Every structure is written in C-alpha cells, then in structure tokens.
C-alpha cells in the first residue's frame, strides 16, 4: 500500500480520486490509504490541466505534507502546488504581501512558551498560570481589539485566576514579540484573517478553485474561516475527516464542525483498512464498540483475512491499576528480549 508505483486502488478509492467538482467529505479512518489518495488526486488534477496556482492542499502536520509532496513529485517535479499546513499558508500570504516585515521570525510552540514565561518573570508574577490558556487569552484579547466575529474567537478553556494580572503578562508578551520582531502561530492566523477581510485591493491572492483539506475535524473556527475566504464561489473542495481522530479540541477544534460539513457535502466512506492485520483490526472494532461509542457509519473491513502466527497476537487481561499493567508489559518485554538473546 505504501508503494505508489504498485498500488491498485479499490473501487471506493477510485471514485474519490476521480472526483472533479462539487464539495465532498471523505470519512477515512487510519489505514485506508488516505495519503496516497490525496497525492493521486493532485497528480490527476495536474494531468487534467488544472493550474497549480489554483490548487491548494492543506494538511494538518508538516510530516503529512512531506509525505504527500514526495509522492506527487515522482510524477510532477517542481509542480508549484501549495502543500502544507494552514500556518505555513498564512505565513506565505503575510510575507508575500509584505504585511509583516521581511526580517520577522516565527516562534514555535516551545519558543512561545519560553517567551511567555519571560513576560511573566518581567512582570514579577508569582501566580501559576496554565501557559496554553494564557496564550489563548492573549489571542482572544487581540482578536477582540480587531473586532473579530465572536463565533471565531476562542476563549481560554477554563477560567484564568488573577485575570487582570494575566492580562498584564499578555501585554508584556506582545511587547517582547514586537521588540524582537517575532510572530507566534496564532499571530499568523489572526493577521491572515484580518487582512483577508479588510477589503485591501492591493493584496496578492489568487483564490483557489481546487481545494483539498486533510484532518478537517481538527480545524478551529478561524482556520475554517480562512479556508472559506480563499475558496472561489464554485470551488471543488474535498475534505478528509475522521470522527475518531478529533484530537485537537483543546485548540478549539470541534466535532460539530464535521457535522456541519456533512450537511453541505456529499459523503463518502472509506472502509477498507490496508494497514492492520484482520485479527488486529477486529480487536480494535470490538474494543471501540464496547468502550468508545464510535461514530463511523460502517465498520472498517480488512484488505485480506490473515491467520495470526502463534506469537503474532497475545491477549492478556491484567487486573488492578494502570501501574500493574505497565509493570506486566515491562516484564513480558524483558522476558521476550532474553528469549531472543537481545
């Protein structure tokens, strides 16, 4: 399944690759060949004459973007299609239009954390704040000043103690960024949305007629609005999502957005799992139905039925707390290593 040169698409995969108009949502659990489909769709669109500057493929992680680029460049080297996450897209937009100084540097999450702690130290603040909530408060303050619609402004996940002191720390954080010509990830989204809605006729932005969005369930409101702002009226848009992988709720992503998209799109379900052995997939299905209340429309099915070898699969029930389970796994691992002379 990983070798794009040898892959044979299933009927459900072929249908998705061939889509060329309208809006669609593909519900794709892990192991269903999603990355390959995303890449093949880009290749086919280029073959059909879609201009690269009218295409955009948004992933949620840089790793996913890298894997997709490698597959596409096998057939279309230097193709010019934007493939990356929405922060990368926003950064390109801001710098291309000279909306931020060219010498501006970007803070990653770790650097943002450190700078906010520095701001806290400068303010001689002794209150313990949860840093992610403090960062969100900072973004909320800035977006309120810019008169953003309340629907896309994300408040902190929980009440912040000593709110006035927290606001002072946020103000100092902003000052430190300005003094050092720095932007954080939230700045990229905030300023991109602001300028896209500012009716600035001097902006260089060719709207997109062909759009792919991966992991749509993990988009927060402002990311979702940016995508709508860069899409042409009748754009062909394909969303890939999975109810069971909504992992970024702490960043403002909500499953309700997936429900909304379902109402606006034609739905496709990828069922066939090419990654997991059938016996392992069945265990996952049984566990999910018992403990997780999965929202998938149809059960995943294995690509082929496999009979496990004696050592391929071992199910053990461990009574007690999590530490008991961890200790037993450690014991089994050590015993296995000894048997292999590892």
Per-residue confidence band for 250, with pLDDT thresholds at 50, 70 and 90: very low
Share of the chain above pLDDT 90, in %: 50
Q: How far apart are alpha carbons 166 and 128 in whole angstroms?
A: 10
pTM here is 0.82
Q: How far apart are alpha carbons 262 and 239 in whole angstroms?
A: 10
Q: What six digits make up the tokens of 131?
A: 């840093």
- The pLDDT score that the predictor gives to residue 338 is 80
Q: How far apart are alpha carbons 282 and 210 in whole angstroms?
A: 37
| Residue 3 pLDDT > 50 | no
pLDDT tens digits, 127-152? 888 888 899 999 999 999 999 999 99
Q: How far apart are alpha carbons 153 and 330 in whole angstroms?
A: 45
CB atoms within 10 A of CB 98: 10
Per-residue confidence band for 310, with pLDDT thresholds at 50, 70 and 90: low
pLDDT tens digits, 72-105? 999 999 999 999 999 999 999 999 999 999 999 9
More confident residue, 263 or 298: 263
| Residue 206 pLDDT > 70 | yes
Share of the chain above pLDDT 70, in %: 90
Query: In 3-state terms, what secondary structure has residue 84?
Result: strand
- The pLDDT score that the predictor gives to residue 237 is 97
Give the closest residue to 224 by CA, choosing from 309, 154, 321: 154
Average per-residue pLDDT in the chain?
86
pLDDT tens digits, 216-245? 888 889 999 999 999 999 999 999 988 666
Q: How far apart are alpha carbons 208 and 51 in whole angstroms?
A: 10
| Residue 205 pLDDT > 80 | no
- The pLDDT score that the predictor gives to residue 6 is 55
């Amino acid at each position: 399944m990983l070798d794009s040169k040898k892959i044979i698409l299933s009927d459900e995969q072929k249908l998705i690759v061939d889509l060329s108009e309208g809006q669609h949502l593909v519900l794709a659990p892990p192991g269903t060949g999603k990355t390959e489909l995303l890449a093949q769709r880009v290749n086919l669109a280029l073959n059909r004459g879609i201009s690269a500057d009218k295409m955009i493929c948004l992933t949620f992680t840089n790793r996913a973007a890298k894997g997709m680029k490698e597959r596409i460049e096998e057939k279309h080297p230097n193709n010019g299609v934007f493939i990356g996450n929405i922060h990368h897209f926003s950064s390109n937009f801001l710098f291309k239009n000279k909306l931020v100084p060219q010498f501006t540097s970007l803070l990653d999450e770790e650097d943002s954390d450190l700078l906010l702690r520095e701001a806290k130290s400068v303010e001689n603040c002794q209150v313990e704040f949860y840093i992610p909530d403090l960062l969100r408060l900072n973004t909320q303050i800035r977006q309120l000043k810019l008169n953003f619609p309340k629907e896309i402004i994300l408040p902190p996940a929980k009440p912040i103690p000593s709110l006035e002191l927290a606001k002072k720390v946020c103000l100092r954080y902003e000052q430190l960024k300005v003094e050092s010509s720095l932007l954080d990830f939230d700045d990229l989204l905030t300023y991109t949305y602001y300028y896209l809605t500012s009716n600035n006729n001097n902006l260089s932005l060719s709207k997109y007629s062909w759009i792919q969005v991966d992991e749509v369930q993990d988009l927060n409101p402002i990311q979702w609005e940016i995508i709508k702002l860069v899409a042409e009226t009748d754009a062909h848009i394909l969303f890939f999502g999975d109810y069971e992988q909504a992992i970024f709720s702490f960043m403002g992503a909500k499953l309700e957005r997936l429900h909304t998209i379902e109402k606006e799109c034609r739905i496709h379900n990828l069922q066939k799992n090419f990654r997991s052995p059938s016996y392992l997939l069945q265990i996952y299905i049984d566990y999910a139905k018992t403990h997780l209340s999965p929202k998938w429309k149809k059960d995943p099915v294995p690509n082929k039925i496999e009979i496990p070898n004696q050592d391929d699969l071992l199910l053990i029930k461990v009574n007690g707390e999590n530490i008991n389970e961890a200790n037993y796994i450690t014991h089994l691992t050590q015993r296995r290593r000894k048997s292999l002379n590892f």
